[in-house]
Amino acid sequence: MPLPKKRHSKARGRKRRTHWKLSGLNLIPCPQCKQPKLPHCVCKLCGYYNGKQVIEIKVKEKK
């Protein structure tokens, strides 16, 4: 495997890595409870997906 003839400077390596960015999550509001959720996923707070209740969420009761 070939090796570089000369060392690359720190600036050159950092210029190359400027595009390694993380993108934020694409959150949309749930139509039922208006809380942010991932698109095409069941809402974790109310259990609805596509206007239908898919899973039943158990609510913890305070003592």
Q: What is the pLDDT of residue 19?
A: 92
Which residues in the chain show pLDDT less than 50?
none
- pLDDT for 1: 77
Q: Where are the domains of the chain?
A: 24-63
DSSP character string of 3-59 = --SSPPPHHHHHHHGGG--PPPP--EE-TTT--EE-TTS--TTT-EETTEE-SPPPP
Tell me how far apart the alpha carbons of residues 53 and 11 are, in angstroms, rounded to a whole number.
54
What's the confidence (pLDDT) of residue 42? 95
pLDDT at 62 (0 to 100): 78
Pairing verdict, β 36-37 and 28-29 = antiparallel
What is the per-residue pLDDT for 3?
A: 85
Q: Please give the radius of gyration of the chain, using alpha carbons only, rounded to the nearest integer.
A: 23
